[in-house]
Amino acid sequence: MKRILVGLLILVLALAWLPVVNTYAVNPTVTVSATGQYLSFSNTPDTWTVGGLTGTGFLAPSTIYYANPAGDTTAPASTVLQASCNFTITNGSNVNVAFTVNWANFSGGDAMTNHNATPPPGANSFAAAIYWVGETSYPSTAVICKASGSSAFITAVAPATTSVYWGAQITTQTGAWASGNAETAIMTLSVAAA
């Protein structure tokens, strides 16, 4: 009997020295992933000689010129076709986007300024607008192209839409030029999440 009691005492002491083991369940986990909004695009070509796609490149007063490969003074159809658009935006954005074009004043030569409104422009100013493939009811739906603060000309372009075709039109100043010197202006494209 002493042996049994001693054995039980040794067993109790041995159990007392064993570390306590938690019996809690394994904690669940959550994997968090994130993708940043990515805005990316390019445009080709990056130059345009007004009146020089099919013509001489010399401008007449009070004349509308188009970035239209079919003809410098040929207006696009009421539903704009790709063949009427000289420019191509390659869209690499991963979200829906909207594109805007601002057209700065000319510098050099007689330096036409942007009228920032629909035609007719003034004696030394031009009026400009943007059109794009698939636009319906052209020219009434063309977007005025201002020196700054232009409205988006196409909105909600999906990430899967890799190419956007567009063109520009300019109505030249009403007055005659005082010189034959060249003038240049910059059209600046921008993109924003839509």
Residue 3 belongs to some domain of the structure: no
Domains held by the chain: number: 1
Q: Is the dihedral of CA 95, 101, 104, 109 positive or negative?
A: positive
Mean pLDDT of the chain: 91
pLDDT digits (tens, 9 = 90+) for 154-163: 999 999 899 9
The whole-number pLDDT of residue 7 equals 55
**Tens-place pLDDT, residues 10-51:** 555 555 555 555 566 789 999 999 999 999 999 999 999 999
Distance CA 135, CA 169 (A): 14
Enclosing domain of residue 105: 41-176+183-193
For residue 145, count other CB atoms closer than 10 A to its CB.
Answer: 23
Q: Is 102 a residue whose pLDDT tops 70?
A: yes
Mean pLDDT of 64-69: 98
| pTM, two decimal places | 0.84
Residue at 160 is within a domain: yes
Asked, for residue 28, whether it belongs to a domain, the answer is no
Asked whether residue 98 is domain-assigned, the answer is yes
Q: Residue 27: inside a domain, yes or no?
A: no
Q: Is residue 24 one of the residues assigned to a domain?
A: no
Asked whether residue 12 is domain-assigned, the answer is no
Out of 9-18, 51-60, 106-115, pick the least confident.
9-18
Which residues, listed in sequence order, are joined to residue 130 by a DSSP beta bridge? 143, 168
Q: Is residue 4 part of a domain?
A: no
